[in-house]
Chain A
Amino acid sequence: MDGDDSKIVQGAERYKAGVLKYKQMGYWIPDYEPRDTDVIAVFRITPQDGVDPEEAAAAVAGESSTATWTVVWTDRLTATEKYRAKAYRVDQVPNAPDQYFAYIAYDLDLFEGGSIANLTASIIGNVFGFKPLKALRLEDMRLPVAYVKTFMGPATGIVVERERLDKFGRPLLGATVKPKLGLSGRNYGRVVYEALKGGLDFTKDDENINSQPFMHWRERFLYCMEAVNKAQAATGEIKGTYLNVTAGTMEDMYERAEFAKELGSNIVMIDLVIGYTAIQSMANWARKNDMILHLHRAGHSTYTRQKTHGVSFRVIAKWMRLAGVDHIHAGTVVGKLEGDPATTKGYYDICREEFNPMRLEHGLFFDQDWASLNKLMPVASGGIHAGQMHQLIHLLGEDVVLQFGGGTIGHPQGIAAGATANRVALEAMILARNEGRDYLNEGPDILAEAAKGCSPLRAALDVWKDVTFDYTSTDTPDFVPTATASM
């Protein structure tokens, strides 16, 4: 490679056959001012030893846009400067000397509107296997309004979901049917009925319940809807159960979704592993059929959890809000699964705000205007119980589905009692919060008071009083030193 590698090579020299550094090819433009219509990505790059971080950033820009490893004369047939992604800023990551945040701007014309598949094929396509980097992580993206507007967004959204369910002013309550595998349709429906009649709003299929030898999907749907309708009549309240329509082909998923609709279900569910295009197709279907669409983020931890390589969940949350799901699992903080409080708040902000201001302490690198796209209901699920109600409401707020699976079905007095315990704990805490009480600190007292008139809650508090999942999180913000402990 020749010449001063910090300078962009111009004219005929630029297109001479051979290999240039990415900086020389024009992928590093430190004085570039991103346009309002640019898509911006911030990557955490860990260059190989001896690789200059600016060159590494330029390489990421190149490989995620127009470049290949060698100079090609056919670039000259195009408006190359427009199509080249531009790395324009590289910051050292606080407390991580070998890592850098690289900011890269992409012209809007690089992307097909309304296609997460196309966006991701560029941004996380080839570049993650690129040899000059030890590791690469997509930390955040700024999606311009012009691009946001090419998506339909959540099929239903938080407000309309609440209107349809006639449930306002408190988190919704759910539970995943357990054991996740092995129940027959008839036994499965029993769990649904008990939990809904006991006081939950929703029950849920687990991510890997599809159509196995122990339970064909139609059996599950039929028994679940019997349970939903019976519980609705027993309580006078709208109930639902997320019927998982995940299947091997789109045709099968449509067939299952249509059957759910025919049976009168108000919600269906899909797994993240079905892929971005399938998710967008199901979102369109949900919108056409007045159906709430629940997304289980099955598989995400394979690429979201480690800090140096992969894709942050905040980016996945942004893509899913564009793609159009109504519910997304976004962490509990206090439960059994990974979740630093500040980072998790960032995910919830992405789901629920109309405008996200830049909040580095929550891991949000950019202002993000959602241009009136519907809001997406976050779901907190995994190892939570009634005794944590004050913490859950404090950390996660009101527009969230709190899912107590084991915390309902594992109740010593039975499933309906478990559901009642959760509902009473929730209502007592919301009442206290609205009355202006210091519910976070008085939480245990508020629960104890409520338990005086509710023996299921008393039993729940006794059984699970010492359960916490106190481990250090791996995915924490870089701008505030944190050690995560569930409170």
Chain B
Amino acid sequence: MRITQGAFSFLPDLTDEQITKQVQYCIDNGWAVSLEFTDDPHPRNTYWEMWGHPMFDNPDAAALMYELAECRKVYGDQYIRVVAFDATHGWESVRLSFIVNRPKEEPGFRLARQEMDGRNQRYTTISYAVDKPAGSRYA
């Protein structure tokens, strides 16, 4: 399967040139860009691990692209996303987020059902990846 989180998951994987343009767009808007990575892409897993802090004073997408190359060396078999943060009053949150690296195999999720009273069901979405301990997923 292909996880479709982020703004551009329905397009073919972005090239580094395309990523650079998106990152520069964010920087030009005054947003702080950063990288986050995870081996558990559960849709409710909000806090992916941070690859350093958001770059608050960086004018050039090249700096982020350098960090992306470094991050891929270590976590190239995990999900990596670019996050752009806007500190403007009234927003103070993420403005754009998109996946820039995926594991070779994306195992996806299992939907567990618990039958409840009447016809109600309690649903649980479980990442297949987390059947293995952190550090050895996607190996």
* A residues neighboring B (CB under 8 Å): 159, 162-163, 166, 168-170, 199, 222, 225-226, 229-230, 232-238, 262-264, 354, 372, 375, 420, 423-424, 427-428, 430-431, 434-436, 450, 453
- How close is B83's CB to chain A, nearest CB, in angstroms? 8
Q: Is the CB of A430 within 8 A of B7?
A: yes
Kindly state whether residue B56 has any CB partner on chain A within 8 Å.
no
Chain A hits for B3, CB < 8 A: 235-237
- How close is B47's CB to chain A, nearest CB, in angstroms? 11
Supposing A166-B43, A229-B125, A232-B43 touch, asked if A427 and B21 sit within 8 A by C-beta, the answer is: no
Cβ contacts A to B, 28 pairs, < 8 Å: A159-B93, A163-B94, A168-B7, A168-B94, A170-B7, A199-B10, A222-B120, A232-B125, A235-B1, A236-B1, A236-B3, A236-B41, A237-B4, A237-B9, A237-B43, A262-B120, A263-B120, A427-B7, A427-B8, A427-B9, A428-B11, A431-B11, A431-B14, A431-B18, A434-B25, A435-B21, A435-B22, A436-B25
Kindly state whether residue B132 has any CB partner on chain A within 8 Å.
no
Q: Is the CB of A236 within 8 A of B10?
A: no
**Residue of A with least CB distance to B106:** A236
Give complex CA distance A469, B120 in Å.
Answer: 43
Number of A-B residue pairs with CB-CB distance less than 8 Å in the complex they form: 104
Q: Is the CB of B5 within 8 A of A237?
A: yes
Give complex CA distance A18, B97 in Å.
Answer: 70
**Residue of A with least CB distance to B12:** A453
- How close is A215's CB to chain B, nearest CB, in angstroms? 15
Kindly state whether residue B58 has any CB partner on chain A within 8 Å.
no
Contact for B10 among A233, A234, A420, CB less than 8 A: A420
**Residue of B with least CB distance to A370:** B90
Chain A binding site: helix, strand, loop or mixed by DSSP? helix
Q: Place the interface of chain B in its size category.
A: 35 or more
Chain B hits for A225, CB < 8 A: 121, 123
Kindly state whether residue B136 has any CB partner on chain A within 8 Å.
no
Give complex CA distance A235, B21 in Å.
Answer: 26
Supposing A222-B119, A431-B18 touch, asked if A168 and B5 sit within 8 A by C-beta, the answer is: no
Give complex CA distance A434, B31 in Å.
Answer: 13
Give complex CA distance A68, B87 in Å.
Answer: 53
Chain B hits for A226, CB < 8 A: 121
Q: Is the CB of A424 within 8 A of B125?
A: no
Give complex CA distance A473, B14 in Å.
Answer: 42
Kindly state whether residue B137 has any CB partner on chain A within 8 Å.
no
Chain B hits for A232, CB < 8 A: 43, 109, 111, 125
Give complex CA distance A354, B89 in Å.
Answer: 9
Kindly state whether residue B96 has any CB partner on chain A within 8 Å.
yes
Kindly state whether residue B57 has any CB partner on chain A within 8 Å.
no
- How close is A235's CB to chain B, nearest CB, in angstroms? 5
Further 10 A-B residue pairs, CB within 8 A, beyond A222-B120, A262-B120: A159-B92, A169-B97, A222-B119, A229-B111, A233-B125, A235-B3, A236-B5, A431-B22, A435-B18, A436-B21
Give complex CA distance A168, B111 in Å.
Answer: 25
